[in-house]
Homo-oligomer: A and B are copies of this chain.
Amino acid sequence: MSEPLRVGIAGLGTVGVGVVKILTQNADIITARAGRPIEIVAVSARSKGTDRGVDLSSYDWVDNTADLAAHENVDVVVELIGGSEGVAADLVNAAINNSRHVVTANKALVAHHGYDLALQAESKGVSLAYEAAVAGGIPIIKAMREGFAANNIHSVYGILNGTCNYILTMMRETGRDFDDVLQEAQDLGYAESDPTFDIEGIDAAHKLCILTSIAFGVKPDFDAMKIQGISHVNATDIAYATEFGYRIKLLGIARRVNGKIMQILEPCLVPINSPMGIIDDVYNAVYAEGDFVETPLLTGKGAGEGPTASSVVSDIIDIARGFKVPTFGIPAMELSDASWIDLGETRARYYLRLSVIDQPGVVADISAILKEQKISIEGMVQRARAPGQAVPIVLTLHDSRHENVVNAVEAIEKLSVCNEKPCLMRIEEI
């Protein structure tokens, strides 16, 4: 029997406790697969006294989490605290500097500091592993860095936040509006009491940022991303999308366009029966297009104790097996600064919902603005008749230049009949 791999866990919330459960309950099969035992030797969390439903008495309790980084018996530091700065960042930095492998589920940390950490880890010859940071139990980091390693990746599409997908699904199924469904999701524990990171798209954007880096061999650059959440999507949009044959999904898109990279995270319309259109509830999915592999799709639960902890442990097993792969698929020092595309220059079909006062000449005014911006209308629905009152007008636009569409929407918003901020979304045939 080979030497055990010794693990120290920082953070004993849901995922941390899940990792303890897996490593104890499945110790036999994990030892067989890893070729050596994986032993928890130390743990650290804010409060020692909390009953977490697992027996921690045989592990060394480390009061000061930072001390885990240099714990003499720890080969792998598992960071499950979260946050791009503070305790988590300090711990990971120090652990790598002390030549400890690091396994983390911390998407914010990897998105914001992944490049520097990768440089450091690779110079120290240790792994910085983060399968659990993206799409929970779905082995998408492994698929992208290893499974599709033969390919030039053209594009990656992801539904990367289970809370948002759940809210959008519920809105569709019940016809209720955003705030109402969010409240329910919070009551059920599917959304945090402060849901900002989820509903404003930050969480999903962290994940997309990581996928972009692996797909295109570029430094992760969170600040370069256009991010829009789902709080402006209303029940009317969901209903019209269905009528036009689409679902609304908070979609991460990273793709090559004219030699540059486009990276956006925003609600988009996708066809109802497309690979992304069928992903509902708390499920996540990632779809990649390579020059040879064509159209693989991976889906599954994107969060939760079991799936996320399963991914954390799979990283630990890789380390136990002696597998080392560059943090972002190629050596960190070879990662390039991405050349981001000017979004204004990109083209797409669009969904546009307006709320306007129902009076003569409105459609003529709108049409004139669109024509001026060289945008042609593909479909239009104005169903309600309420002279003098606000009614929705919904349009789909033929493939158009983004900047022209934005200009048109700004001009329409300035019309006196327009009584609400227009809702504009890309239509993606994915």
Please give the distance in Å from A325's CB to the nearest CB on chain B.
6
Verify if A72 is at the interface (C-beta below 8 Å from B).
no
Specify which of B18, B151, B325, B330 is in contact with A310 (CB 8 Å cutoff).
B151
Name the B residues within 8 Å of A142 (CB-CB): 139, 142-143, 146-147
Check B309 against A150 for contact (C-beta < 8 Å).
yes
Check A321 against B317 for contact (C-beta < 8 Å).
no
Check B22 against A296 for contact (C-beta < 8 Å).
no
Report Cα–Cα, A138/B294, bound state, in Å. Answer: 10
Verify if A82 is at the interface (C-beta below 8 Å from B).
no
Verify if A297 is at the interface (C-beta below 8 Å from B).
yes
Check A310 against B292 for contact (C-beta < 8 Å).
yes
Name the B residues within 8 Å of A334 (CB-CB): 32
Stretch among A87-95, A185-193, A298-306 lining the B interface:
A298-306
With A139-B296, A292-B22, A300-B294 already in contact, the answer to whether A149 and B330 are too (CB < 8 A) is no
Check B151 against A146 for contact (C-beta < 8 Å).
no
Verify if A48 is at the interface (C-beta below 8 Å from B).
no
Verify if A8 is at the interface (C-beta below 8 Å from B).
no
With A32-B217, A139-B143, A143-B139 already in contact, the answer to whether A148 and B310 are too (CB < 8 A) is yes
Which A residues from 12 to 59 make CB contacts under 8 A with B?
18, 21-22, 25-26, 29-30, 32-35
Report Cα–Cα, A318/B300, bound state, in Å. Answer: 25
With A30-B149, A143-B142, A148-B310 already in contact, the answer to whether A300 and B296 are too (CB < 8 A) is yes
Check A325 against B331 for contact (C-beta < 8 Å).
no
Name the B residues within 8 Å of A21 (CB-CB): 292
Specify which of B35, B146, B304 is in contact with A331 (CB 8 Å cutoff).
B35
A to B CB contacts below 8 Å, 23 in the list = A22-B150, A25-B291, A26-B152, A26-B291, A29-B330, A33-B330, A131-B147, A137-B296, A139-B143, A143-B147, A150-B309, A150-B314, A150-B317, A290-B310, A292-B306, A292-B309, A294-B300, A294-B304, A294-B306, A296-B298, A296-B301, A298-B298, A323-B325
